[in-house]
Protein backbone atom coordinates (compact mmCIF):
# COMPACT_ATOMS: atom_id res chain seq x y z
CA UNK A 1 0.00 0.00 0.00
CA UNK A 2 1.40 3.38 -1.02
CA UNK A 3 0.65 6.18 1.47
CA UNK A 4 -0.54 9.36 -0.30
CA UNK A 5 -0.01 12.60 1.60
CA UNK A 6 -0.03 16.36 1.15
CA UNK A 7 3.37 18.00 0.83
CA UNK A 8 4.94 21.35 0.14
CA UNK A 9 7.04 22.34 -2.87
CA UNK A 10 10.12 22.67 -0.64
CA UNK A 11 9.89 18.97 0.22
CA UNK A 12 9.95 19.68 3.96
CA UNK A 13 7.94 16.89 5.56
CA UNK A 14 7.97 18.06 9.16
CA UNK A 15 4.39 17.71 10.38
CA UNK A 16 1.11 15.86 9.97
CA UNK A 17 0.72 13.15 7.36
CA UNK A 18 3.96 14.25 5.68
CA UNK A 19 5.97 13.52 8.83
CA UNK A 20 4.15 10.19 9.15
CA UNK A 21 5.10 9.41 5.53
CA UNK A 22 8.78 9.99 6.34
CA UNK A 23 8.70 7.98 9.56
CA UNK A 24 6.76 4.96 8.33
CA UNK A 25 6.68 4.91 4.51
CA UNK A 26 10.09 6.10 3.37
CA UNK A 27 9.14 9.52 1.97
CA UNK A 28 12.31 11.53 1.43
CA UNK A 29 12.96 15.12 2.47
CA UNK A 30 13.48 17.36 -0.53
CA UNK A 31 11.10 15.39 -2.75
CA UNK A 32 8.01 17.56 -3.05
CA UNK A 33 5.94 15.49 -5.48
CA UNK A 34 5.64 11.91 -6.62
CA UNK A 35 6.77 8.63 -5.20
CA UNK A 36 9.60 7.87 -2.79
CA UNK A 37 9.72 4.71 -0.75
CA UNK A 38 6.15 3.55 -0.17
CA UNK A 39 4.80 7.10 -0.20
CA UNK A 40 3.41 9.51 -2.81
CA UNK A 41 3.54 13.28 -2.22
CA UNK A 42 0.93 15.66 -3.65
CA UNK A 43 1.84 19.33 -3.12
CA UNK A 44 -0.72 21.42 -1.25
CA UNK A 45 1.64 24.26 -0.23
CA UNK A 46 4.27 26.21 -2.12
CA UNK A 47 8.00 26.36 -1.28
CA UNK A 48 7.37 29.20 1.20
CA UNK A 49 4.69 27.04 2.89
CA UNK A 50 1.78 29.14 1.61
CA UNK A 51 -1.35 27.18 0.76
CA UNK A 52 -1.87 26.38 -2.92
CA UNK A 53 -5.22 27.10 -4.53
CA UNK A 54 -7.57 24.22 -5.31
CA UNK A 55 -6.76 24.75 -9.00
CA UNK A 56 -3.03 24.30 -8.33
CA UNK A 57 -3.62 21.26 -6.12
CA UNK A 58 -5.85 19.80 -8.83
CA UNK A 59 -2.95 19.90 -11.30
CA UNK A 60 -0.78 17.87 -8.92
CA UNK A 61 -3.65 15.54 -7.98
CA UNK A 62 -4.29 14.83 -11.68
CA UNK A 63 -0.66 13.72 -12.05
CA UNK A 64 -1.20 11.38 -9.10
CA UNK A 65 -4.44 9.95 -10.53
CA UNK A 66 -2.72 9.30 -13.87
CA UNK A 67 0.15 7.61 -12.02
CA UNK A 68 -2.22 5.43 -9.98
CA UNK A 69 -4.06 4.35 -13.14
CA UNK A 70 -0.77 3.20 -14.66
CA UNK A 71 0.43 1.36 -11.53
CA UNK A 72 -0.95 -1.94 -10.23
CA UNK A 73 -0.20 -1.19 -6.57
CA UNK A 74 -2.81 0.06 -4.10
CA UNK A 75 -2.76 3.60 -2.73
CA UNK A 76 -4.07 4.93 0.58
CA UNK A 77 -5.28 8.50 0.02
CA UNK A 78 -5.29 10.83 3.01
CA UNK A 79 -7.39 14.02 2.90
CA UNK A 80 -4.55 16.11 1.46
CA UNK A 81 -4.68 19.86 1.92
CA UNK A 82 -7.15 19.72 4.80
CA UNK A 83 -4.75 19.91 7.72
CA UNK A 84 -2.09 22.61 7.75
CA UNK A 85 -3.06 23.81 4.25
CA UNK A 86 -6.56 24.59 5.55
CA UNK A 87 -8.85 23.52 2.69
CA UNK A 88 -12.13 21.87 3.55
CA UNK A 89 -12.51 18.13 3.14
CA UNK A 90 -15.55 18.77 0.96
CA UNK A 91 -13.56 20.91 -1.49
CA UNK A 92 -10.76 18.34 -1.72
CA UNK A 93 -13.25 15.47 -1.98
CA UNK A 94 -15.12 17.24 -4.79
CA UNK A 95 -11.80 17.71 -6.59
CA UNK A 96 -11.03 13.98 -6.42
CA UNK A 97 -14.56 13.02 -7.48
CA UNK A 98 -14.15 15.20 -10.56
CA UNK A 99 -10.76 13.59 -11.28
CA UNK A 100 -12.37 10.11 -11.00
CA UNK A 101 -10.44 8.21 -8.36
CA UNK A 102 -9.23 4.87 -9.77
CA UNK A 103 -10.22 1.55 -8.18
CA UNK A 104 -6.75 0.98 -6.69
CA UNK A 105 -6.98 4.16 -4.59
CA UNK A 106 -8.49 3.63 -1.15
CA UNK A 107 -9.52 6.30 1.32
CA UNK A 108 -7.97 6.58 4.76
CA UNK A 109 -10.39 6.55 7.69
CA UNK A 110 -9.77 10.26 8.21
CA UNK A 111 -12.10 10.94 5.25
CA UNK A 112 -15.09 9.60 7.20
CA UNK A 113 -16.31 13.00 8.42
CA UNK A 114 -17.04 13.99 4.79
CA UNK A 115 -18.48 10.68 3.64
pLDDT of residue 28: 97
Model confidence, pTM: 0.94
Domain ranges of the chain: 2-111
**Average pLDDT of span 106-115:** 82
pLDDT of residue 112: 83
pLDDT digits (tens, 9 = 90+) for 32-82: 999 999 999 999 999 999 999 999 999 999 999 999 999 999 999 999 999
DSSP readout, the chain? -EEEEEEETT----SHHHHHHHHHH---TT--SEEETTEEEEEEE-TTSPBPPHHHHHHHHHHHHHHHHH--S-EEE--TTSSTT---HHHHHHHHHHH---TTEEE-GGGTTT-
| Domain 2-111: assigned CATH number | 3.40.220.10
Reported as a pLDDT band with limits 50, 70 and 90, residue 115 is low
Amino acid sequence: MIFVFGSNLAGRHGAGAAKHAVQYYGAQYGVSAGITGQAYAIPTKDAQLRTLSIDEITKHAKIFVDYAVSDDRNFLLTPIGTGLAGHSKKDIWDMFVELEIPDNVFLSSSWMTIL
